[in-house]
Amino acid sequence: MSFTAKDVQSLRQATGAGMMDAKKALEANDGDMEASKQWLREKGLAASAKRDDRENAQGAIALLIQDNVGAIVKLKSETDFVASSERFKGEAMALAALVVAKDEAAVSERQSELDDMKIVLKEKIELGEVVRFEAAPGNLLDSYIHIQGGRGVNAVLVEVAGGSQEMAHDIAVHIAFARPKYLSRADVPADVIEHERQTLETISRNEGKPEAALPKIIEGRLNGFFKDVALLDQPYAKDDKLNIGQLLNGATIVRYVQIEIG
């Protein structure tokens, strides 16, 4: 009985086996799907069906910048033990290098390696976020990655126009620990602002603030909200007398991304 590439893919999806193992199973069983599943099970190459239901909130993050192109790849696992293994971290870095060299979609070229790793490490392993920045001519890329237990757990990539490399790096470090959700207050969705405004009004009324003073109190507290969520409004981590907008001094943050484990 013959088989097709689609049969190989179907067997992989049904068993969690690697591409080459699925092909070998079909070859050994003349293309019979059920016999091939049993063959993989007996060889210990089929993943547990329950594995897909497991939580994989651990993992490792790889970050790479080459020739003003940067990439961050998050590889997810079930345990920090597996995430800290050299094979796992090496795979994350191999994926990041592939993204830098090509594009985000290039990670699919290592799907068979990921499938094999699921079997060997016996965990639910899958890709998380994959990001690629190619800086515009004249712009700078910089980054920061926080290492915990020998693996990357918090990575930032930032593109800056008109600034210095030192400034770009300092901003990346700041982002890693301040965790802004938006670049500027103009980027905060209107519905988010309105929800926060209503919440602050309720809090202020519950505190018994005078009715006439409410608009000013709410606006003041809303400014505090922007300092929490908007990067340009945040007090600079190294000098809280400056906010990030003032630190830039004419430079521009073109874009940034932060990816974390957990």
Specify the DSSP class assigned to residue 67: T
| 257 pLDDT more than 60 | yes
Query: In sequence order, which residues have a C-beta less than 8 Å from that of residue 245 and are 6 or more positions away?
Result: 232, 233
The predicted-structure confidence for 216-240, as pLDDT tens digits, reads as follows 999 999 999 999 999 999 999 999 9
Long-range CB contacts (< 8 A, 24+ apart) of 101-104? 103/132, 104/130, 104/131, 104/132
Measuring CA to CA, which residue among 204, 208, 205, 181 is closest to residue 193? 181
Q: How far apart are CA 60 and CA 152, in angstroms?
A: 5
Q: What pTM was computed for the model?
A: 0.79
Q: How far apart are CA 88 and CA 123, in angstroms?
A: 11
Token representation of residue 156? 């930032």
| 49 pLDDT more than 80 | no
Q: What is the CATH number of domain 58-182+248-260?
A: 3.30.479.20
Tell me what pLDDT residue 124 has: 86
> CB of 74 within 8 A of CB of 145?
no
Q: Binning pLDDT at 50, 70 and 90, where does residue 122 land?
A: confident
Residue 90 has, within 13 A of its CA and on its CB side, a CA count of: 5
3-state secondary structure of 106: helix
Q: How far apart are CA 257 and CA 236, in angstroms?
A: 18
- Please give the backbone phi and psi of residue 75, each rounded to the nearest 5 degrees, phi first: -115, 125
Per-domain boundaries in the chain = 5-46, 58-182+248-260
The predicted-structure confidence for 143-159, as pLDDT tens digits, reads as follows 999 999 999 999 999 99
Q: How far apart are CA 35 and CA 94, in angstroms?
A: 35
Tell me what pLDDT residue 42 has: 72
Question: What CATH architecture applies to the domain 5-46?
Answer: Orthogonal Bundle (1.10)
3-state secondary structure of 253: strand
Q: Binning pLDDT at 50, 70 and 90, where does residue 53 land?
A: low
Say what percent of the chain tops pLDDT 90. Answer: 74
Q: Binning pLDDT at 50, 70 and 90, where does residue 48 land?
A: very low
